[in-house]
Chain A
Amino acid sequence: MKGNLRDFSGTQILNLVSLAKKSGTLGVDRKDGKANLTFREGKLIFAAIGDADGSLASVLSRDGRISREQAAALAKRAEKTGDKQIGLLLIQKGYVTQADIVRSIKKHALAAVNQFASWKEGMFAFDGTSLPDTSRITVPLDLENIIIQIARVQKRDEQLEEEIPSLDVNLKFVERPTVALKDLQLSKDEWRVLKFIKPDNTVRMIANSLNMNEKQIRRVVGSLREAGLVALTQARQREKLSPDERHQKRALVGRLINHLQGIGAE
């Protein structure tokens, strides 16, 4: 099974692997990174994506359970002993519990699946013979609910694209919010967007200022609209000048140009 995610989406592949209870490794090759997702009987058991190589040291470090320095030392040791031995050592020394390890691996796997499902292109190939070596700690993750959740989010994103087709619109606070302010619970991103709501700010400008991509800003704006806090308005156009005003402004700019051109020449 091989192809391009452009033609066969990540969610479709995950669905196929899960339904057919396949075992093996799905490799994805993209310009900005690679991924290897390994399945046993349709369940995800190991994930390496981009910089997150899926090793125990990396997984625990990313989850904040050990420091980067500890992770670097453990990664070196794991080359000789393998992740299972490292896991046992950490449990014996009291750094983490077995439950911590399982939780961190599941969290990593879930993030990897979500990232993979968001990729719109990349060559993929499924190798039914490739499984992780036995020294790895594998935690089976049932994909059914995750796929449903991902599909739901993707559908919501599609709806948001229809509701907010252009980001070159403004936001305004509604005069009578439908939500009681005392019940209001906003995320950090929602607060950040609210701070930028001004007559001149388009949604695109807000996204750029906050380093959000189109999907992220649509989600935030969508939830603020659903909460009845904001409404979309047409972007403020540049002030239209009358022919007379235009003439005056042109003359003014011309005088400034003449003056500046003369600076240094006198």
Chain B
Amino acid sequence: MQTQTVKMVITGPFNSGKTAFVRSISEIDVVSTERSISSEAEKVKETTTVAMDFGRITVDDDLVLYLFGTPGQRRFDFMWEILSEGMLGFVVLVDSSRSETFREAKSILETFRAYAPTPYVVAANKQDLPDAWTIDDLRIALRLEESVKMLPCIANDKESVKNILLELLYSILEEMDEEV
């Protein structure tokens, strides 16, 4: 029997923690396309994803979940639409401690919503940092409706990442229920 594959996309601004998110939960070493950062302005970290991060979770012999992390920088956004094709849902990661990225996070969210009308959740990453904005404040800053799930997240903590993915799956079920 042929293995069925499903896909979830992890997106968000530059340095929001997408690569760490996929790495935390993937059962294989993440296939990453990281390159050194050339721009001085963006040197808050050494490398960045230029095409995608690819992770895998094998459910059983005939079902595999693929996780695709998108590149965060706008100049690689041509990859976004390709990655979003056929996705089950998507996670928007926001760095809760860097308010200068909130506008970009909102814009990315809207762009992905436009690509496909699939369920999504917003993960407020880096909630363990002292400067992290609270979930309530972030919801206001991102102008998110109450119906949109906004969840605390620590991308390098497997349990936290697991919970985000579970919430996304619950959202998919809830949306299917609403459609009936």
Chain A residues within CB distance 8 Å of chain B: 196, 198, 200-202, 205-206, 208-209, 211, 236-238, 240-241, 246, 249-250, 252-257, 259-261, 263-264
Number of A-B residue pairs, CB cutoff 8 Å, is 73
| Contact B59 A259, beta carbon cutoff 8 Å | yes
Report the Cα distance A239→B173, complex, angstroms.
15
Contact pick for B107, options A201, A211, A249, A253, CB 8 Å: A211
Report the Cα distance A206→B169, complex, angstroms.
27
Report the Cα distance A196→B77, complex, angstroms.
13
Residues of A within 8 A of B76 (CB): none
Given A211-B107, A263-B162, A253 and B115 contact (CB-CB distance below 8 Å): no
- Identity of the chain A residue whose Cβ is nearest the Cβ of B109 in the assembled complex: A208
| Contact A259 B159, beta carbon cutoff 8 Å | no
Report the Cα distance A249→B173, complex, angstroms.
9
Considering the complex of A and B, which 5 residue pairs feature the smallest CB-CB distances, nearest first? A205-B114, A208-B110, A201-B114, A259-B59, A238-B117
Helix, strand, loop or mixed for chain B's interface? helix
B166 within 8 A of A: yes
Most buried by B among A198, A202, A209: A209
| Contact B114 A264, beta carbon cutoff 8 Å | no
| Contact A256 B114, beta carbon cutoff 8 Å | no
- Of the four ranges (under 10, 10 to 19, 20 to 34, 35 or more), the interface on chain B belongs to 20 to 34
Residues of A within 8 A of B170 (CB): 257
Residues of B within 8 A of A255 (CB): 59-60, 63
Min CB gap A137→B, angstroms: 37
Report the Cα distance A259→B60, complex, angstroms.
9
- Identity of the chain A residue whose Cβ is nearest the Cβ of B58 in the assembled complex: A259
Given A205-B114, A255-B63, A256-B169, A238 and B159 contact (CB-CB distance below 8 Å): no
B65 within 8 A of A: yes
Q: Which of B149-180 contact A (CB under 8 A)?
A: 158-159, 162, 165-166, 169-170, 172-173, 176, 179-180
B113 within 8 A of A: yes
| Contact B114 A253, beta carbon cutoff 8 Å | no
B20 within 8 A of A: no
Min CB gap B100→A, angstroms: 15
B4 within 8 A of A: yes
Chain B residues within CB distance 8 Å of chain A: 4, 6, 25, 57, 59-60, 63, 65, 88, 103, 106-107, 110-111, 113-117, 158-159, 162, 165-166, 169-170, 172-173, 176, 179-180
Contact pick for B162, options A196, A246, A264, CB 8 Å: A264
Residues of B within 8 A of A261 (CB): 166
| Contact A200 B65, beta carbon cutoff 8 Å | no
Residues of B within 8 A of A236 (CB): 117
Report the Cα distance A175→B139, complex, angstroms.
42
| Contact B114 A206, beta carbon cutoff 8 Å | yes
- Identity of the chain A residue whose Cβ is nearest the Cβ of B88 in the assembled complex: A253
Contact pick for A250, options B65, B117, B173, CB 8 Å: B173
Residues of A within 8 A of B166 (CB): 257, 260-261
- Identity of the chain B residue whose Cβ is nearest the Cβ of A259 in the assembled complex: B59
Contact pick for A263, options B25, B88, B116, CB 8 Å: B25
Given A200-B115, A250-B176, A263-B158, A256 and B6 contact (CB-CB distance below 8 Å): yes
| Contact A246 B114, beta carbon cutoff 8 Å | no
Min CB gap B78→A, angstroms: 12
10 contacts between A and B (CB under 8 A): A205-B114, A211-B107, A238-B117, A246-B179, A249-B176, A255-B63, A256-B63, A257-B173, A259-B65, A264-B162
Report the Cα distance A260→B4, complex, angstroms.
17
Residues of B within 8 A of A237 (CB): 117
| Contact B116 A246, beta carbon cutoff 8 Å | no
Residues of A within 8 A of B116 (CB): 200
Residues of B within 8 A of A198 (CB): 114-115
| Contact B113 A264, beta carbon cutoff 8 Å | no
Contact pick for A205, options B59, B113, B162, B172, CB 8 Å: B113
